[in-house]
């Protein structure tokens, strides 16, 4: 995402090579690719990379795009109005997210060694007294982040970089680390119906070329195990009596509503990442009686398939209106005392320093 954080783009090129050359040879990769749609974008900020001429472990202006904007502060924010003007790179990614049914993703960075998960921002609705901004899917996010860190060569040790901050088990809630607004991870979760985590892959943002092979080896298993997690939980189709798919139907697990309810895609398909357990899944077409089904979810990721559970409405040709979720601070309407969570000037300054060091 940041042009001067170069390890991620190299690792993704290795990943593409590994996937296409293993297909038909490695049984696990063959089954993974037979059952999974994988999209890989090795760089979101090519201009920033071009502007970063030499290896440099610390922050450079290659972090920003040609217009000097930080792309990971450039997305609509669920908690406060983002005043930054949306950049072409960001708009292209937003179009891509809207156009596809992404379910699980990661965005890659350097400058630290940790798997960080949503929320990056927060308000009185989500922030606990411990300064942790919790999403309704916190358990799933912790599992996803741990899947990455525990399969990485050293991230799980949580020792951090040099004498900087350490992270137990190599994971952290984004807001607990430091608050940011306009990040892609929160955007994907709130508006993209996609669970995304942020992977910080190297203490040095732009290491020398001869270290790249080792970074790939350190991340290879973690990347594959992470991709498998897209098959966590439950998936299916919502149909009418004649078996025609119903797009835009709301499908959510009871007790974990999303601020903008997750809806079926154009094929009537839904995907909900959930840990093993018993859940009530609620399929709703506004104006009709909801269908509730109790499901017993097991970990079927090694079979490359979530549990399948379809929903059939007894009516025909019923429609669910395409309710576009407004790109406004959705949580602001739910929050009351948002002033209480504004960081003090002191903390703000500290955060700016941390920011300059890490990301
Ligand atoms: C993968 O899919 C191909 C094409 O459908 C099929 O021939 C092959 O047997 C599948 N391999 C595995 C391991 O499932
Ligand atoms: C955006 O602008 C409004 C109005 O000037 C201001 O109140 C708000 O704090 C700004 N938001 C951010 C995130 O800076
Ligand atoms: C949207 O998806 C269609 C069909 O897969 C594809 O042709 C088109 O290029 C996509 N557009 C974007 C912005 O990703
Ligand atoms: C099912 O979901 C709909 C839409 O979100 C909601 O209005 C309704 O209260 C839910 N029903 C139950 C029993 O939770
Ligand atoms: C994988 O699927 C098969 C049936 O297709 C089932 O027997 C087996 O228990 C599944 N494995 C796991 C780990 O759930
Ligand atoms: C696990 O996945 C297999 C597909 O390989 C599927 O046949 C089976 O129904 C799934 N089992 C559960 C419990 O989700
Ligand atoms: Zn970064």
State in Å: Cα 299 to ligand 5 middle.
Answer: 9
pLDDT above 50 (res 341): no
At 17-39, the pLDDT tens digits run 999 999 999 999 999 999 999 99
What's the confidence (pLDDT) of residue 335? 54
Q: 234-313, superfamily in CATH?
A: Carboxypeptidase-like, regulatory domain (2.60.40.1120)
- 160, two tokens: 């951090």
pLDDT in tens, 76-105: 999 999 999 999 999 999 999 999 999 999
The model's pTM: 0.92
Please indicate whether residue 68, judged by its CB atom, sits closer than 6 Å to ligand 1: no
The whole-angstrom separation of Cα 2 and Cα 63 is 5
Centre of ligand 3 from the C-alpha of residue 87, in Å? 19
Cis-peptide into 119, omega within 30 deg: yes
Residue 300, pLDDT > 70, answer yes
Per the annotation, the verdict on 200 as an active-site residue is yes
Q: Where are the domains of the chain?
A: 7-231+345-358, 234-313
Residue with tokens 């992404």: 102
Residue 196 bridge partners (DSSP): 105
* ω into 220 cis (within 30 of 0): no
| CB-based burial, 146-184: b 16+ in 10 Å, e otherwise | bbbbbbbeebbebebbeeeeebebbbbbbbbbbbbbbbb
| Minimal-distance CA residue to ligand 3 atom 4 | 99
Residue 27 near ligand 1, beta carbon < 6 Å? yes
In which band, very low, low, confident or very high, does the pLDDT at 287 lie, cut at 50, 70 and 90? very high
Q: Cβ(35) to ligand 5 under 6 A?
A: no
**CATH 3.40.630.10 correct for 7-231+345-358:** yes
Ligand 5 site, residue 303, Cβ cutoff 6 A: yes
Query: At which residue do the structure tokens 């960001």 appear?
Result: 90
Q: Whose CA is nearest to atom 3 of ligand 5?
A: 303
Structure tokens at 172: 């952290």
Centroid of ligand 3 to alpha carbon of 99 (angstroms): 6
Distance 69 CA to ligand 2 centre (A): 17
187 contact partners, CB below 8 Å, separation of at least 6: 75, 76, 77, 78, 94, 97
201-221 pLDDT tens trace: 999 999 999 999 999 999 999
Distance from the Cα of residue 102 to its chain's centroid: 10
Structure tokens at 254: 């009871």
């Amino acid at each position: 995402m940041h042009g001067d954080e170069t390890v991620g783009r190299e690792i993704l090129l290795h990943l593409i090579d590994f996937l296409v050359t293993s297909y038909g040879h490695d049984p696990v990769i063959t089954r993974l690719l037979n059952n999974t749609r994988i999209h890989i974008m090795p760089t979101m900020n090519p201009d920033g990379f071009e502007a970063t001429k030499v290896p440099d472990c610390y922050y450079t202006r290659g972090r920003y795009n040609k217009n000097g904007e930080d792309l990971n502060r450039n997305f609509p924010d669920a908690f406060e109005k983002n005043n930054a003007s949306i950049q072409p790179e960001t708009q292209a990614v937003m179009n891509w997210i809207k156009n596809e049914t992404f379910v699980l993703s990661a965005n890659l960075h350097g400058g630290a060694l940790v798997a960080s998960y949503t929320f990056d921002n927060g308000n009185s609705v989500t922030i606990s007294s411990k300064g942790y901004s919790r999403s309704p899917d916190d358990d799933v996010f912790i599992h996803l982040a741990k899947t990455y860190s525990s399969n990485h060569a050293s991230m799980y040790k949580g020792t951090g970089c040099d004498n900087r901050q350490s992270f137990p088990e190599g994971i952290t809630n984004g807001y607990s680390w430091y608050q940011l607004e306009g990040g892609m991870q929160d955007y994907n979760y709130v508006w993209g119906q996609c669970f995304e985590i942020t992977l910080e892959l190297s203490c040095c943002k732009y290491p020398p070329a001869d270290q790249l092979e080792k970074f790939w080896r350190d991340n290879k298993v973690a990347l594959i195990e992470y991709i498998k997690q897209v098959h966590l939980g439950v998936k299916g189709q919502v149909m009418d009596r004649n078996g025609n798919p119903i797009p835009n139907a709301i499908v959510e697990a009871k007790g974990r509503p999303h601020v903008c309810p997750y809806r079926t895609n154009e094929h009537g398909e839904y995907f909900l990442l959930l840990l093993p357990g018993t859940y009530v899944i609620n399929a709703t077409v506004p104006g009709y009686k909801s269908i509730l089904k109790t499901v017993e979810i097991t970990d079927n990721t090694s079979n490359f398939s979530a549990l399948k559970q379809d929903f059939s409405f007894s009516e025909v040709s019923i429609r669910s209106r395409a309710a576009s979720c407004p790109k406004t601070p959705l949580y602001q309407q739910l929050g009351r005392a948002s002033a209480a969570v504004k960081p003090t000037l002191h903390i703000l300054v500290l955060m700016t320093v941390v920011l300059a060091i890490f990301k």
